[in-house]
Amino acid sequence: MRLNIAKTVIAAVLLIGAAPANASAVHDAAGDYLATYFGSKTGDLDVISASVTYNPASDLFHFESTFAGNLGGSPSGFYIWGFDRGAGTGRFTANGLPQVLFDSVVRFNMDGSGVVSLLTPTSSTTPFAAGTAKIKDNQLIADIAASLLPSNGLAKSSYTWNLWPRDGALPAGFGQISDFAPDAINAPVQVVPLPGAFWLFGSVFAMFKLAGNSKQRFAVTVKSI
């Protein structure tokens, strides 16, 4: 009886444990360009999904993003991830987005190069070479050393972010921005391995132990008859 219960619980744990991984990416509707945007609309500046994860073991931030069209359709396009490291402010409040908070930005260009810019407490920039971001079809993937985004009050695992592509062919300013993901708030950095993975392992181990104890009790009962 207990063995059957253990099997049922293990199956449920597997389903629950898988949920955080599926929920870690921000999903954004296709074609939801800002009303203030009049730049390229070939799809590569239209975010479909995005995620940022932090690995404490390697001290790396991992970026993944998917767009409505293959990257390169907008030659002047580039991608900005704004990070709140603890002192983020609403620099787009005048544009109706007070909850998009950031105190640093990471820029990726179409050739995979880019720059990390810290806005506070002092301004600094660190460029990185072409090919740092891997671009294939409609996806952009990159790993950035977390040391380039030092804490400004929050633990790295507690940073939040937002992604907004820009079309550099337009005059500098808010009008360059094609989309926000998420639309009007920041998303939390996901930590890997996910805490749920440790909980999952512990739960499965406990269930196997329960099953083993159940078998042992059954053997003792048989001997006593």
Of the chain, the end-to-end C-alpha distance in Å amounts to 20
If asked whether residues 152 and 50 sit together in one domain, one would say yes
Burial of 46 (0-12, 13-18, 19+ CB in 10 A): buried
If asked whether residues 18 and 82 sit together in one domain, one would say no
If asked whether residues 16 and 57 sit together in one domain, one would say no
If asked whether residues 64 and 93 sit together in one domain, one would say yes
If asked whether residues 187 and 85 sit together in one domain, one would say yes
| Residue pLDDT, tens place only, 153-185 | 999 999 999 999 999 999 999 999 999 999 999
If asked whether residues 20 and 104 sit together in one domain, one would say no
If asked whether residues 171 and 202 sit together in one domain, one would say no
If asked whether residues 44 and 93 sit together in one domain, one would say yes
If asked whether residues 92 and 160 sit together in one domain, one would say yes
Low-confidence ranges of the chain (pLDDT < 50): 3, 5-23, 196-211, 213-225
Phi, psi of 95 (to 5 degrees): -100, 10
What rounded mean pLDDT belongs to the chain? 85
Q: Which of 155, 94, 87 is nearest to 118 (CA)?
A: 87
Phi, psi of 198 (to 5 degrees): -70, -40
- Whole domain around residue 166: which residue ranges? 25-193
If asked whether residues 87 and 131 sit together in one domain, one would say yes
If asked whether residues 182 and 97 sit together in one domain, one would say yes
Q: What per-residue confidence (pLDDT) applies to 4?
A: 53
Q: What per-residue confidence (pLDDT) applies to 217?
A: 43
Provide the 10 A C-beta neighbour count for residue 54.
21
Q: Is the pTM of this model over 0.85?
A: no
How many distinct structural domains can be found in the chain? 2
Structure tokens at 37: 């945007």
Q: Is 154 left (phi over 0), alpha (psi -120 to 50) or beta?
A: beta
Calculate the CA dihedral of residues 28, 34, 37, 40 and round it to 10 degrees. Answer: 20
Q: What angle do CA 51, 42, 53 make, to 5 degrees?
A: 5
Provide the 10 A C-beta neighbour count for residue 11.
10
If asked whether residues 161 and 221 sit together in one domain, one would say no
